[in-house]
Amino acid sequence: MKKISFILIFALLLLGSCNKAAKEQLASLQEQKSTMESQTAQLPSAGEPDVRQEVTIEFENDFYGIDAGGSVSLHYTLSRPATLETVASGSWNVSIEASSGTEGDIVVSAPDPAQPEQLVVEADFASGAVSSFILPVMLRRPYTDASSPRLEAMAYYGFHDHIATAENFRKLAEAGITMITVEQINDWPLHLRLAEEAGIKVVFFINWYARMYENDPVHYKGLDEIVNEAKKYPALYAYQIQDEPSALEIPTLNISKSHIEELDPDHPVYINLHSAEVSMAATMTATYEQYIRYFTYDCNVKFLTFDEYPVYETGVHDAWYKSLETVRDVTREAEIPFWAFSLCCREWLRADPSVENLRLQGNINIAYGAQCIQYFVWMATTGTNYAPIMPDGTYTTAYDKCKAYNRELHNREFIFADADVWKVRHAGIGSYAHGEYLTREDLPGAIDDMSFSGDALISFVNNGGSEYIALCNKSWQQKLPVKLSLAQNVFTIDREGEFTQQTPGVKSFVIDEGDMLVIKWK
């Protein structure tokens, strides 16, 4: 009985001790709970609205555009006092000039060249809350300096010796021409010197020398002599050794091509190819794709060029799109550029050059990714009686039309020069046979829908982190009405290179004959 009582007393004492410890622990937990509740009073509870969103920052515009090398000032107001700090990454410069706790200016400057950046500011409040805001600044032009990549414009078939003058080369540059071909003529060094003075590059035709070497590579030294002399001229860009060869000529062409590359590894060899419009007898391949692949890989060209003149009075030849679809796919896979042609002279059955059809030819070519537009022919020659310049040195209205389009071409080179055209689609009742048809799944998040009252080509372009869509009118004779449903702010870019802010909603546009409307959203 005494033993049982002792145990009971001990148990009661232990229980009292436990109750005291539990009470102390409970009090400690309650104190911690109160502290945590105080610290988290500004934070959202699960399922509750984020109270930090009650803090707002407002700008005068929905978004702002900035060119590389430029700056823009964003006036802001805060819904309650806060200290702002920048969290900008990259090489952009962001500075804050506060005029009060709730108002001020944020000045953003972009380097030249520039890449798109996500610009952020943080608002620190006296309560300890921190809110982050993305600045509504979009990079419009990624570069502005003259050393940036260019879209080239070539005068194919340049001048005879008697009109190879400094004035005529100056007029080339004034017309936006950046390249010219020089034939196998008596005074070719004069042409290369004048081209250098005008800032124009030269593709030097040495076809005859290449043929002679291919026939007798052991004894013929003429190819060595002309290449060793020509490579000294700064204006030299490339050597042409053949025009419109068949695939069967590749082994022979590789003989002269390899030798030229040994003599002069700094200047590429130019071989111009057929279009998909010609027969299998001309290409000597089963398909046009096979023809293009042979020259891309077996001939190992540094860039691919093909000629096609698709603009007829009756319309546009469908083979043009087959050529472009094939050339774009193969060269993009091989990671080499391609060049294309525009007809700028009078030729049988084809339409005389106009600003509208020159615009169509150039715009469709660059929308597929062409890096050089080659004007055929610049000087009237056999089979033509009208071109930008006549053999006697007089200029025609074709010169003015090429000059007008080249201005548009160079206005848009910040979009297309060295760009990745990663997708091309078609829309309209006449476009089903030209390539893949546009679906809603093709559209980026910035655009909910688009519709066309005519035939269109849609080019998806990535250049330096910026994203563009080019909407091209596939007619040089009719305008193209377009309706866009925009999900977010974008810029539209016209042929002058001018940006216009477009806010969300349904917008209507009319694209001129042969023209394009470019949309930028990133």
- Both tokens assigned to 207: 């076809």
CA–CA distance, 168 with 165 (Å, rounded to integer):
5
The residue ranking higher by pLDDT, 87 or 66, is: 66
CA–CA distance, 123 with 455 (Å, rounded to integer):
50
Instruction: Classify 375 as helix, strand or coil.
Output: strand
CA–CA distance, 486 with 365 (Å, rounded to integer):
27
Please state, in angstroms and as integers, the Cα–Cα distance from residue 175 to each residue in 123, 233, 371, 403, following that order. 52, 23, 18, 4
Beta strands in 79-196 (DSSP E): 83-86, 93-100, 103-109, 120-124, 130-134, 137-139, 152-156, 179-182
The structure tokens 């003075």 sit at 197
The yes-or-no verdict on residue 189 having pLDDT over 70 is yes
pLDDT tens-digit readout, 67-88: 888 999 999 999 888 888 887 6
pLDDT band per the 50, 70, 90 thresholds, residue 7:
very low
Per-residue pLDDT, 56: 83
Which CATH number is 423-520's, of 2.60.40, 2.40.10, 1.10.405, 3.40.50? 2.60.40
Q: What percent of the chain has pLDDT over 70?
A: 88
The DSSP H or E segment spanning 387 is none
Q: What is the mean pLDDT of residues 438-463?
A: 96
Q: What is the mean pLDDT of residues 137-148?
A: 78
The yes-or-no verdict on residue 89 having pLDDT over 90 is no
Handedness of CA 389, 207, 269, 333 (dihedral sign): positive
CA–CA distance, 302 with 248 (Å, rounded to integer):
19
pLDDT band per the 50, 70, 90 thresholds, residue 43:
very low
Per-residue pLDDT, 31: 60
Per-residue pLDDT, 42: 42
Per-residue pLDDT, 61: 86
Per-residue pLDDT, 127: 72
Instruction: Classify 406 as helix, strand or coil.
Output: helix
Angle among Cα 471, 472, 478 to the nearest 5 degrees reads: 125
What dihedral angle (degrees, nearest 10) is formed by the CA atoms of 360, 361, 366, 370?
170
The yes-or-no verdict on residue 287 having pLDDT over 90 is yes
CATH 3.20.20.80 in the chain is located at: 152-417
The yes-or-no verdict on residue 480 having pLDDT over 60 is yes
The yes-or-no verdict on residue 145 having pLDDT over 80 is no
Q: What count of residues does the chain have? A: 522
Per-residue pLDDT, 13: 41
| β 57-59/83-86 pair status | unpaired
Mean pLDDT value across the chain: 88
| 3-state secondary structure labels for all residues of 174-211 | HCCCCEEEECCCCCHHHHHHHHHHHCCEEEEECHHHHH
Identify the CATH homologous superfamily for domain 52-139.
Answer: Immunoglobulins (2.60.40.10)
The yes-or-no verdict on residue 46 having pLDDT over 50 is no
Q: What is the mean pLDDT of residues 362-385?
A: 94
Of the given ranges (37-51, 237-251, 341-355), which has the lowest mean pLDDT? 37-51
CA–CA distance, 66 with 64 (Å, rounded to integer):
7
Q: Thinking of the domain 152-417, which architecture would CATH place it in?
A: Alpha-Beta Barrel (3.20)
Per-residue pLDDT, 375: 98
Please state, in angstroms and as integers, the Cα–Cα distance from residue 46 to each residue in 36, 131, 134, following that order. 15, 18, 25
The yes-or-no verdict on residue 26 having pLDDT over 60 is no
Angle among Cα 479, 483, 484 to the nearest 5 degrees reads: 135
Per-residue pLDDT, 129: 74
CATH 2.60.40.10 in the chain is located at: 52-139
Q: What is the mean pLDDT of residues 394-417?
A: 96
CA–CA distance, 147 with 151 (Å, rounded to integer):
12
- Both tokens assigned to 24: 């102390």
pTM to 2 decimal places: 0.83
CA–CA distance, 249 with 291 (Å, rounded to integer):
11
CA–CA distance, 133 with 126 (Å, rounded to integer):
18
CA–CA distance, 170 with 432 (Å, rounded to integer):
44
CA–CA distance, 339 with 361 (Å, rounded to integer):
12
Q: What is the mean pLDDT of residues 63-67?
A: 88
Nearest to 238 by CA among 266, 263, 213: 266
pLDDT tens-digit readout, 414-425: 999 999 999 999
Q: What are phi and psi of 33, to 5 degrees?
A: -60, -45
Per-residue pLDDT, 268: 98
Radius of gyration of the chain (CA): 33
Q: How far, in whole angstroms, is CA 499 from its chain's centroid?
A: 16
Q: What is the DSSP letter of 51?
A: G
Q: What is the mean pLDDT of residues 431-441?
A: 86
515 Cβ neighbours under 8 A, 6+ residues apart: 359, 363, 472, 473, 495
